[in-house]
Structure 1
Amino acid sequence: MKRLCSMIVLAIQMPPYVVSVHLDPNLNCGEEARSASSIRPMPTPSSSSDADPTGFRVAVLGYGNQGRAHALNLRDAGASVTVGARSGPGARLAESDGFLPVSFDAAVATAELVVMALPDEVHGPIWSELEAHVPHGCSVGFIHGFSIHHQRLKPRADLGVILVAPKGPGPTLRGRFVKGQGIPALVGVHQVGEADAELHVRRWGAGIGCARAALIPSSFAEECETDLFGEQAILCGGILALMRASFETLHDAGYSDEVAYIECIHELKQVVDLLYAQGPSAMHQAISNTAEFGAFVAAERLDSQELRGQLQSLLRDIQSGAFAQRFAEDAEAGHPWFNAKRSAHDAHAIESASAKVRETMPWLENDA
């Protein structure tokens, strides 16, 4: 079952808020991806005013890492932003940032775009309470394809259903915006309804700064499946599993936990920074011949058919919906498995070693 499609994206520096994104018409994305959620080129605006977010009425629901970045960036770009947040730390932070947080119902009352910046697992219950208050012809925006792709909610027919998924965490999205930069985002229109859905995608993408980099045409299906796979296989799952196994290997061999932490975890950032800024080849050029030779030796041993099989198994569970079902069932039960894993992770010797190493470099807190 092939879900992924190749695409060629052209993103060039143009006047503010003008975005140029093109699909190669000769590339086949596959009927399943097309039926799961429409993949279409986003038209190139003819002028900067077409995607100008000035005056765009946006309700941002939730004020976590992503919600805060979207709200602040949109406000700075000239949009009229209302934050919907329940009482708690998020609402207090919104107030300190100069917003007057209101109930979800009140936030959406006059919105042209409602941004669902809430945890995936609460989208369905909150939407069932909220939908009647969303204006006719409004667009509902998602920063992750999960809840639409897995049918956790189904917005009514007159509403646009759109995706702008920044490829980075909220603090990075905000930090780049403040510097006059941006990070790429996957974008798509799942349902046009009676909204100006594609224009809303462009205004939203411009308002949060992603149009400064690239708005990459995609779908809810592709974004959801590739995002989950990347998180599980490498970014959040695979890398932590490899770090933990490497740390434990040195610990079991009698090396100190602090040295094991530095070698297997702390130094990772220096290598990742090279990969992030310049790519794999430049990273190889920046390390010693001994390190590079050892990297090739280790890759031959670690990149096994067993590993590939496990990666394929992760992807199959994501594509089939098995992972989404497991996540939903654990959430409905109060997250017993999830919370147990969190507790075990927090109690690992890596955490105490990390604290001791970071005590020697208090300035690292400023890098977070």
Structure 2
Amino acid sequence: MTAFHQKPLRTQLQALRQCHPVPKSAFSDGVEVLKGKQIVILGCGAQGLNQGLNLRDSGLNVAYALRQSSIDSKNASYQRAKDNGFHVGSFEELVPNADLVMNLTPDKQHGPVVNGIMPLMKQGAFLGYSHGFDVIEAQREIRDDITVIMVAPKCPGTEVRAEYLRGFGVPTLIAVHQDPQGLGLAWAKAWCAGTGGHHAGVLLSSFEAEVKSDLMGEQTVLCGLPQAVCVAGFERLVELNVPAAQAASFYQFGIEQVSESMKAGGVRLAFSKLSPAERVHARREADKLKAAFRPLFEKHMDDIIGGQFAEGMMADWAKDDIDLLTWRQNTAETGFEQAPPSSHFELDFDRATGLVALFAAGVELAFEVMVEAGISPASAYYESLHELPLIANTLARRRLHEMNVVISDTAEYGNYLFSNVATGIVKDVMAGWDLKELGEGGQFDAVDDATLSLVDEQNQNHPIEAVGASLRAYMRER
């Protein structure tokens, strides 16, 4: 049981609900407070490399500290940092002079990494995270003089870089966990500005709210549901005599296009692209899906809040990731992953009734369950809808392999934990669907105006729509 779980319920809820939009004016100083400071990043994976590139392009001093064994072997992290022109040194060389040490290593490495660098960190230095697992779930104890902050982009590292290069950014949560000098928020805002996140919208959160909402989103609608839909949906299309390459293409690219529509204008925009008869059918199927999925979503939320998920994953770490690696291999062997390469296509929404129903159900249900657990509606929106197309972008590149390479090991473990069960639920639902729902389109029963009006009102009045409209307007402010 972690320190969070030992707190009174009222205190837990206060931490989970902490989530306030930070006005654009709060970033008027940009990265100024970090100018001339020495930033040292630990880890050069997807987040480490791409955040470092953005920070350097924003005019900041960035270097990478790696284990001496990584430097000696010139492993992948070393090569990525050197190939991009960064100075690379050992912990002993770089950490003692660092003003801000960003721990962007995988969660399972946080313990030995942070315990190893803490004696090297100078008095009054700053320690940064992009995920709160180590502090909240692993209960890392950090020296009292060190300021502990978080900047958590709500997407994979590859998209952090892609959005920065187009002059924008990705929505980001910032938080301060330990603040002996009273400077934590100023440094977190500057770090966020350096990654470009301030252009897209920033929420002031807590380490507790970030880790609990992040784990829930990635396990269910962001990663777990797309994997379940790809695996089960591919099998169903092949059963219906659709060629394997075409079947894989429908999901590989269709999920991205449906989720992009939802990001732009909410779930209701995706529904609005369907014909009246398709819209009513999709709504009815989405409601059935929500009923079928609710117990699984609630179990994952309960296990995340209660700490059982963290305990199970850390137990797998102690077994050298046997479950994670087995599930990874099983995924690589699925029909969807093994199908012939497929080319990009533009989705005709008249053929996307089933996809709209599936992801409307997933988005709405993830949002509902997170809010019911005490997470703020704004955090629940980012973790259930806004990040979905950013994950789907990775799926469109190289299917599930790319998604699971780019997301963290923690997200990948949670994805499998969810999708292993969810795939069966999707199969059961799709057994009653044919090509009308799954890519070929077709005629559904005609609907009267009264029924259509009720369905449209239901789509428009879900609580996620109002929250999403407000946050999208906030993100559009430049």
Query: Aligned residue for 2:200?
Result: 213
Shift of 1:225: 0.6
Shift of 1:329: 0.9
**Contact 1:139/1:195 (CA < 8 Å) preserved in 2?**
no
| 115, 135, 142: which one aligns with 1:128 | 115
Q: Distance in 2 between matches of 1:262 and 1:193?
A: 53
Query: Aligned residue for 1:348?
Result: 334
Q: Distance in 2 between matches of 1:178 and 1:214?
A: 17
Please state if 1:181 is matched with 2:168.
Answer: yes
Q: Distance in 1 between matches of 2:316 and 2:45?
A: 22
**Contact 1:38/1:190 (CA < 8 Å) preserved in 2?**
no
Query: Aligned residue for 1:72?
Result: 53
Deviation readout 1:2-60 (Å, 9 max, x if unpaired):
xxxxxxxxxxxxxxxxxxxxxxxxxxx95214468987897997784475242232111
**TM-score if structure 2 supplies the norm length?**
0.64
Please state if 1:333 is matched with 2:319.
Answer: yes
Deviates more, 1:207-216 or 1:336-345: 207-216
SS at match of 1:343: helix
Please state if 1:357 is matched with 2:342.
Answer: yes
**Contact 2:248/2:336 (CA < 8 Å) preserved in 1?**
yes
**Contact 2:212/2:304 (CA < 8 Å) preserved in 1?**
yes
**Contact 1:138/1:195 (CA < 8 Å) preserved in 2?**
no
Q: Distance in 1 between matches of 2:11 and 2:30?
A: 31
| 80, 87, 108: which one aligns with 1:100 | 87
**Contact 1:188/1:218 (CA < 8 Å) preserved in 2?**
yes
**TM-score if structure 1 supplies the norm length?**
0.83
SS at match of 1:357: coil
Deviates more, 1:111-120 or 1:191-200: 191-200
Shift of 1:100: 1.7
Please state if 1:117 is matched with 2:98.
Answer: no
SS at match of 1:267: helix
Shift of 1:136: 0.9
SS at match of 2:86: coil
Closer, same or farther in 2 for the Cα pair 1:257/1:50, shift >3 Å? closer
Q: Distance in 2 between matches of 1:40 and 1:274?
A: 26
RMSD between aligned residues: 2.9
Amino acid at match of 1:93: R
Q: Distance in 2 between matches of 1:292 and 1:55?
A: 56
**Contact 1:162/1:201 (CA < 8 Å) preserved in 2?**
yes
Deviation readout 1:285-305 (Å, 9 max, x if unpaired):
33444543331131132121x
**Contact 1:163/1:220 (CA < 8 Å) preserved in 2?**
yes
Closer, same or farther in 2 for the Cα pair 1:47/1:287, shift >3 Å? closer
Unaligned runs of at least 5 residues, structure 2: 1-8, 347-395, 403-478
Shift of 1:328: 0.7
Closer, same or farther in 2 for the Cα pair 1:293/1:121, shift >3 Å? same
Deviation readout 1:101-123 (Å, 9 max, x if unpaired):
11123222222211111000010
**Contact 2:253/2:344 (CA < 8 Å) preserved in 1?**
no
**Contact 2:107/2:133 (CA < 8 Å) preserved in 1?**
yes
Query: Aligned residue for 1:313?
Result: 299
SS at match of 2:48: helix
Deviation readout 1:272-329 (Å, 9 max, x if unpaired):
222223322222233444543331131132121x421211110011111111111111
SS at match of 1:356: coil
Shift of 1:261: 2.2
Closer, same or farther in 2 for the Cα pair 1:171/1:321, shift >3 Å? same
Q: Distance in 1 between matches of 2:311 and 2:285?
A: 36
Structure ranking higher in helix proportion: 2
**Contact 1:38/1:189 (CA < 8 Å) preserved in 2?**
no
SS at match of 1:101: strand
Closer, same or farther in 2 for the Cα pair 1:45/1:263, shift >3 Å? closer
SS at match of 1:84: strand
SS at match of 2:247: helix
Deviation readout 1:41-97 (Å, 9 max, x if unpaired):
979977844752422321111111100111111111111111113331111111111
Shift of 1:230: 0.4
Structure 1 segment 143-158 matched on structure 2, within 5 A: 143-158=130-145
Q: Distance in 2 between matches of 1:205 and 1:150?
A: 24
Query: Aligned residue for 2:43?
Result: 62
| 257, 265, 273: which one aligns with 1:278 | 265
Please state if 1:241 is matched with 2:228.
Answer: yes
Closer, same or farther in 2 for the Cα pair 1:33/1:42, shift >3 Å? farther
Shift of 1:175: 1.5
Closer, same or farther in 2 for the Cα pair 1:41/1:137, shift >3 Å? farther
Q: Distance in 2 between matches of 1:68 and 1:275?
A: 29
Larger relative contact order (CA 8 Å, sep ≥ 6): 2
Q: Distance in 2 between matches of 1:365 and 1:244?
A: 16
Query: Aligned residue for 1:231?
Result: 218
Shift of 1:208: 1.1
SS at match of 1:249: helix
Unaligned runs of at least 5 residues, structure 1: 1-28
Q: Distance in 2 between matches of 1:332 and 1:47?
A: 42
Shift of 1:149: 0.8
**Contact 2:81/2:88 (CA < 8 Å) preserved in 1?**
yes
**Contact 1:113/1:200 (CA < 8 Å) preserved in 2?**
no
Q: Distance in 1 between matches of 2:27 and 2:209?
A: 29
Please state if 1:324 is matched with 2:324.
Answer: no
Q: Distance in 2 between matches of 1:97 and 1:62?
A: 14
How many correspondences in the alignment?
336
Please state if 1:295 is matched with 2:251.
Answer: no
